[in-house]
Structure 1
């Protein structure tokens, strides 16, 4: 229970993110961010491509063979139309978004070590000795963690006016627009699917 308290404290008090009651700790989507859920292999390839340019900017987590990319709140509602506009709508992509009313299991809080504190952070109120371990709190981990004290919205890919149907582009110096992120991720999801289809059944 100490690990759960630390986890909830880190997200609610340090980051100001909403969590849902219960165990394991889950984050509410659609409030401050939505989540793009993609195959980890496709996500890593997309991040390499994007990081060579403006970068994705927003926090990224890994959960098993899935990657969770935080995007601007409201993006989940835009995804179907955006995929159609990008001409990916007719293809079976292993890509989905979690938005308003959704929940995702909270990744292990970044910086909370075996003793429950790191980088001089205070111990959360009511926490006993003992840390947050992977076997206590979920299987997800942060690859690109959120930063306490920084408004997460500023770093999240969003559907900008110039990137909406009828325009194109990204704002220099900040996260790529949602259209670019989705197009890049969809491209690598499609490549992953084609590669899997080319493998003989006997070798799968």
Structure 2
């Protein structure tokens, strides 16, 4: 069995962009049937989350936080990188090519890895997702005399929008590269495997012929 990734160019570095550029906002708005209305809303409330439909500009693969982080780490350390990635309420949202939401679950079953991967929510045509604000929330401050100082950082509450509603890899171009089902299958398999030093693969572990 081979771990070879489908033949794609490697992205050299993990982007640090945590806010959406104007070009990225144009791409996000293209998912809506009324992009001008979205731009008007964002102009008034750039720090508010939004709801966008899937299936045209992108699909979204919604993974548990730990597993989703491992997928993103594998994509950037040994793969071609990722498309936009967001964290929202304890989940990781990986933006993918349209059609991925339908094909990825079937590939996981076909390759006999579905049982090893935590439940994924695959949002495609007819679905909608909540995306984080275009810009991070400003850090709260406390008044200390005539000047203000940042409030010490604390762990956010689970029901707070700050608790994981943010961009990890924000869209910054009008046509971002989006991984397809083959690439995300590869990332799922790599994330589901034991890390080096853990127990080796059990005998009879399912093969991944499509990646060979």
Determine if the TM-score, normalized by the shorter chain, exceeds 0.5. Answer: yes
TM-score, normalization by structure 2: 0.54
Partner residue in 1 for 2:186: 180
Partner residue in 2 for 1:195: none
State the structure with more CA Rg.
2
**Is it true that 1:157 corresponds to 2:179 in the alignment?**
yes
Partner residue in 1 for 2:209: none
Partner residue in 2 for 1:35: 60
Partner residue in 2 for 1:69: 94
Root-mean-square deviation over aligned CA pairs: 3.6
Q: In the superposition, relative to structure 1, how do residues 110 and 187 fare at CA in structure 2: closer, same or farther (>3 Å)?
A: farther
**Is it true that 1:56 corresponds to 2:81 in the alignment?**
yes
Whether the 8 Å CA contact 1:72–1:157 is kept in 2: the answer is: yes
Q: In the superposition, relative to structure 1, how do residues 138 and 102 fare at CA in structure 2: closer, same or farther (>3 Å)?
A: farther
Partner residue in 2 for 1:168: none
Q: C-alpha distance in 1, partners of 2:99/2:129?
A: 16
What does the per-residue CA deviation read over 1:98-151, in whole Å, with 9 as the maximum and x for residues that have no partner? 11011111211047979xxxxxxxxxxxxxxxxxxxx7899621000001x430
Bigger RCO of structures 1 and 2 (CA < 8 A, at least 6 apart): 2
State the secondary structure of the residue aligned to 1:105: strand
Structure 2: give runs of 5+ residues left out of the alignment: 1-19, 42-47, 140-159, 199-212
Deviates more, 1:78-87 or 1:59-68: 78-87
Structure 1: give runs of 5+ residues left out of the alignment: 1-6, 115-134, 164-176, 192-204
Give the drift of 1:88: 1.7
Deviates more, 1:26-35 or 1:39-48: 39-48
Deviates more, 1:99-108 or 1:17-26: 17-26
Q: C-alpha distance in 1, partners of 2:32/2:71?
A: 29
Aligned residue pairs total 143
State the secondary structure of the residue aligned to 1:52: helix
Partner residue in 1 for 2:9: none
